[in-house]
Amino acid sequence: MYYHTPNTSQFVMFIRRFRAAVIALFILFSIGIFAFIKPELISSDTFFWLSESKQFEKTTQQEYTATYVGRLSIKTAVFDETTKLQLQSLQTELEHQVGVEQVESLFATHMVFNDQTSEESAIVKALPIGSLSAPKMVTFVRAFPEPYTQFVNDDFSEFHFFLHSQNPIQIDKMNIPFEHRYSEPVVEAQLGHYLWYVGVIVLVIVVMSRILFRNYIAAFGAISVTILTLIWTFSIMYLLSGSNQIHIAMSLMVVSISIGHYLYFYYRWHVSQFKSDSNRALEKSINRNLHPAVWTLPVLILSLGSLLFADSKIVTMLSLSLMVSSAVAYIINIVFLPALLSFFSVKYPRIGFARICYWFANREIHYNPKILKGFMILTAVILLSIVTRLAISPDGFFDKHVSQNTITLKVPFEEIDLETLQKIETFEHELRKYNKGIEKVDSVVTILKRLDMANKPQTSFDEQRLLQALFFLELYDLKQAYIDKDALKISITLHNTDQSAVIRWLEEYKGLPIYFTDIESLSESSKMDKTLLLAFSSLSALLMIGLIMGIIFRSAKIGFVGFVANAIPIIWFILFMMVCDFELSIEALIAMTISVGLTSDTIIHFGYKYFRSRYFGRTRKHALEIMFFYSGVPAITSAVVLMSVFALLTLTQLQSLQLIGAYGAILMFISLLSDLFILPILLLAVDKNSEQELITRS
């Protein structure tokens, strides 16, 4: 129970006696398992999601290759003959990049027209539009803009090139003589990304160590503990799952948990040296944190345990990262860390910043119950509206709004006949009817109709007209862009719409056998499968945390506090997402899962300190001061450190890491506010024991 103080003096003495051996053992063992497992960093976010995509499996079974679709936007001051030639050269250069299969742009399109000298003497022609002079190009495109709108704007100042490639293209290595922007949704992580990621974490830890603790010991300890936690966690996960692949999100979870745990142990050792020597401080660090730290384990395991049985390796690995790292960090902090810290003592044990704790305690002891009640009612109303919206339109909740995007599909065929064309036309019609923001659907039907209409037909569309259009398609070598060996290519351009809704509609469409062939849609479809699962698991995790906390503290009220304190940041974060019209993406849910892990730790440490102090007869105010001093400071520090790390991650080029970073930083900020302003008041609210009763018991 929280009022027991475990006797750890023998244990600490043992660790101090064999400290060199303990450190050596940990380091050698870690090097050994690291060499044995050879963890493999997943360089592409895409492979992580594609490995479980049902749509990707379907596409590869059909032996279709999936491609990356990137958009290069070029801005030009003026469009003249020189600019035209430069853009044409760029088109050729892009086409010759390794792995590029197709480059769609104005300079790859054809001008389809009826070349005639009289009514009797005429032929359908399809000339590359680039063969026209610059002024004629402008005139032609303005006269017939429809096929070219996605490639150039009205005043010919912005051109778009769509690159379909087997690998992500490194546009920054090309020499493009124009102002340009390249938007490729998925890129592979380079060594630079990892170095940036590691550099950010190390920098933030060192800065924190210098500012808060005025030494480098805290940084040295944090980095050592984090490295060991990472190695041990992924080794255990390898033994459990047989997979040595590590996604950057998994490592982020481990780092967060490790730093969160570490700070409670280190901080106690640091501040205890104000009154005691470093050895006694070491003992306090262990015996004051042993219980609350161990309680975080069942909370995490039971709350996220259900995710282990999810039919998804990705979700299992993510939840396993949190659970295993929590257990590993615990062992490292009670065995390795004391051995390491026993070599040091601190010069400045005083933490000036800790004074703020007394301010918080003084203010919050006189909380206004009416305001608390009002806040709780407001939060409940928000929760109710979220649940209602989730029940009415669960899909709409996870919208993925895109300003401009391309979905590419393949449809197997045996023969291009009237029936096939009719099916594609019906598909296009229904796609536009049931989905918003479909800017353009480009398929073999589009080009065949253009060729047919250029022939100025006088009869209704029949087989002969189709055969003639197919003839011209072959004659002008336009087939490659629309027809593969045994599949028709369909390209859908989206504009300001919910991409996930379109993908869902396409997945459920029965009129044609559809295969997604662009990596982003395939990866998005896989993420969509996991989103709902992770959302419901996070919700059930909140309930479980409340239940377990109730059991630990033997109080239903504290169980309720556990649930509410964890739920408040999530509820307000979802409200923030709704207000800002951000979709509840898988990245947001990963950030939520990390936050649940960290907040549950904070609640346990706060609850432990507060009720322990109350048990030993401290007044409510004094208990609050002790809670803030011993648990509040490490909680604030870890939140600030992780907020900084997550915020700096938004500067990377990996999109999913950017999103996890942004959402994580916001969520941690909301959690910190809740931990500082709401959680202590909730603890005061459920603590109805009179001062006298506690004094008598003590």
Partner 1 sequence: MIYTIKPISSFLLVLLSLWCFIAIKAEGKDLSTKKMVALLEPIEQHAIQYGEGDIKVYVFIDPKCPHSRDFISMIFENQKMRTIYRYHIYFYELKRFNSHFLIGAIYSAPSPLQRMLEVMVGKKEITSAQNSDVKIEEKIDDIKRVAEQIGVSKRPYLIVAKEWD
Which residue's CB is nearer to partner 1, number 90 or number 470? Answer: 470
Q: Work out whether 581 is an interface residue with partner 1 (CB under 8 A).
A: no
* Residue 277 sits in the site that holds partner 1 (CB under 8 A): no
Burial status of residue 43 (CB atoms within 10 A of its CB: 0-12, 13-18, 19 or more): middle
CB of 118: closest distance to partner 1 in angstroms? 7
* 61 touching partner 1, by CB under 8 A: no
Q: Judged by CB under 8 A, does residue 311 bind partner 1?
A: no
Q: Decide if residue 127 touches partner 1 (CB under 8 A).
A: no
To partner 1, the closest distance from the beta carbon of 476 in angstroms equals 9
- Rounded distance between C-alpha atoms, residue 444 and residue 464, angstroms: 17
Binding status of residue 368 toward partner 1 by CB under 8 A: no
Judge residue 459's burial from the number of C-beta atoms within 10 Å of its C-beta, 0-12 exposed, 13-18 middle, 19 or more buried.
Answer: exposed
The distance of closest approach from Cβ of residue 77 to partner 1 in the complex, given in angstroms and rounded to an integer, is 38
User: Does 115 contact partner 1 by CB under 8 A?
Assistant: yes
**Dihedral sign, Cα of residue 258, residue 263, residue 265, residue 266:** positive
Residue among 454 and 577 whose Cβ is closer to partner 1: 454
Using the rule CB under 8 A, is 690 a contact of partner 1? no
Residue 462 CB, nearest distance to partner 1 (Å)? 5
523: Cα within 13 Å, side-chain hemisphere:
21
Among 36, 434, 471, 505, binds partner 1 (CB under 8 A): 471
- Within 474-493, which residues bind partner 1 (CB under 8 A)? 474-475
- The answer to whether residue 464 forms part of the interface with partner 1 (CB under 8 A) is yes
Q: Which of 179, 462, 691, 693 binds partner 1 (CB under 8 A)?
A: 462
Query: Smaller CB distance to partner 1: residue 268 or 465?
Result: 465
Report the distance separating Cα 78 and Cα 84, nearest Å: 10
Buried b (16+ CB within 10 A) or exposed e, 611-621: bbbbbbebebe
Which one, 436 or 456, has the nearer CB to partner 1? Answer: 456
Q: Does 133 participate in binding partner 1 (rule CB under 8 A)? A: no
463 binds partner 1 (CB under 8 A): yes
Selected range binding partner 1 among 73-81, 389-397, 460-468, 665-673, rule: CB under 8 A: 460-468
Cβ nearer to partner 1, comparing 118 with 175: 118
Nearer to partner 1, 454 or 548 (CB): 454
User: Toward partner 1, which CB reaches closer, 122 or 575?
Assistant: 122
CB nearer partner 1, residue 132 or residue 302: 132
Looking at 114-122, 164-172, 553-561, 600-608, which segment touches partner 1 (CB under 8 A)?
Answer: 114-122
Buried b (16+ CB within 10 A) or exposed e, 67-76: bbbbbbbbeb
Question: Strand order of the sheet with strand 158-165?
Answer: 100-104, 158-165, 68-75, 179-183
Q: Which stretch binds partner 1 (CB under 8 A): 161-169, 201-209, 462-470, 592-600?
A: 462-470
State the number of binding residues for partner 1 (CB under 8 A): 18
- Phi, psi angles (nearest 5°) of residue 146: -50, -50
Torsion (CA) 15, 16, 21, 23 in degrees, nearest 10: 80
**Member of 120, 146, 155, 419 binding partner 1 (CB under 8 A):** 120
414 lies in the site for partner 1, by CB under 8 A? no
Q: Is 97 exposed, middle or buried (0-12, 13-18, 19+ CB in 10 A)?
A: middle
| Contact region with partner 1 (CB under 8 A), list: 14-22, 331-339, 377-385, 470-478 | 470-478
Q: How far is the CB of 475 from partner 1 (least distance, A)?
A: 6
Contacts 24+ apart (CB under 8 A), 192-201: 193/652, 193/653, 193/654, 193/657, 194/41, 194/248, 196/651, 196/652, 197/248, 197/649, 197/652, 197/657, 200/645, 200/648, 200/649, 201/226, 201/255, 201/645
Among 103, 231, 335, 470, binds partner 1 (CB under 8 A): 470
Q: What is the b/e burial string over 505-535, where b = at least 16 CB atoms within 10 angstroms of the residue's CB?
A: ebbeeeebebbbbbbbbbbbbbbbbbbbbbb
Minimum gap (Å) between residue 442 Cβ and partner 1: 24
How many angstroms separate the CA atoms of 518 and 66, rounded?
A: 5
Nearer to partner 1, 63 or 414 (CB): 414
118 contributes a contact to partner 1 by CB under 8 A: yes
For residues 207 and 641, the answer to whether their CB atoms sit within 8 Å is: no
Minimal distance, residue 143 CB to partner 1, in Å: 22
Rounded to a whole number of angstroms, the minimum distance from the CB of residue 451 to partner 1 is 12
Piece of the chain touching partner 1 by CB under 8 A; list 14-22, 215-223, 463-471, 535-543: 463-471
Rounded to the nearest whole angstrom, what is the least distance from the CB of residue 482 to partner 1 in the complex?
Answer: 16
DSSP string computed for 368-431 = -HHHHHHHHHHHHHHHHHHHHHHHH-TTGGG--EEEEEEEEEEEE-S---HHHHHHHHHHHHHH
Q: Where are the alpha helices (DSSP H) in 209-307?
A: 217-241, 248-272, 278-304
Alpha-carbon gap, residue 263 to 257, rounded angstroms: 10
Half-sphere exposure of 658 (CA within 13 A, CB side): 10
CB atoms within 10 A of CB 579: 8
Please say which residue, 368 or 460, places its beta carbon nearer to partner 1: 460
Asked if residue 522 lies in contact with residue 516, where contact means CB atoms within 8 angstroms, the answer is yes
Using the rule CB under 8 A, give the single segment among 3-11, 117-125, 388-396, 579-587 that binds partner 1.
117-125
DSSP at 512: S
- Decide if residue 122 touches partner 1 (CB under 8 A): yes
Closest CA to 384 of 574, 664, 558: 574
Using the rule CB under 8 A, which residue among 61, 121, 690, 692 binds partner 1?
121
- Per-residue DSSP letter, 97: S
User: Given the DSSP bridges, would you call strands 179-183 and 110-116 parallel, antiparallel or unpaired?
Assistant: unpaired
Please say which residue, 119 or 155, places its beta carbon nearer to partner 1. 119
Q: How far apart are the first and last CA of the chain?
A: 15
Q: In the bound complex, what is the minimum distance in angstroms from residue 256's beta carbon to partner 1?
A: 60
Given 38, 78, 96, 119, the residue binding partner 1 (CB under 8 A): 119
Binding to partner 1 by residue 117, rule CB under 8 A?
Answer: yes
**Is residue 217 within 8 Å of 344, Cβ to Cβ?**
yes
Q: Which stretch binds partner 1 (CB under 8 A): 9-17, 19-27, 110-118, 398-406?
A: 110-118
Q: Helix 217-241 to helix 248-272 angle, to the nearest 10 degrees?
A: 140
For position 116 contacting partner 1 by CB under 8 A, the verdict is yes
CB 44 within 8 A of CB 186: yes
Among 467, 556, 651, 695, binds partner 1 (CB under 8 A): 467
Beta carbon nearer to partner 1, 468 or 619: 468
Binding site for partner 1 (CB under 8 A): 115-123, 462-464, 467-468, 470-471, 474-475
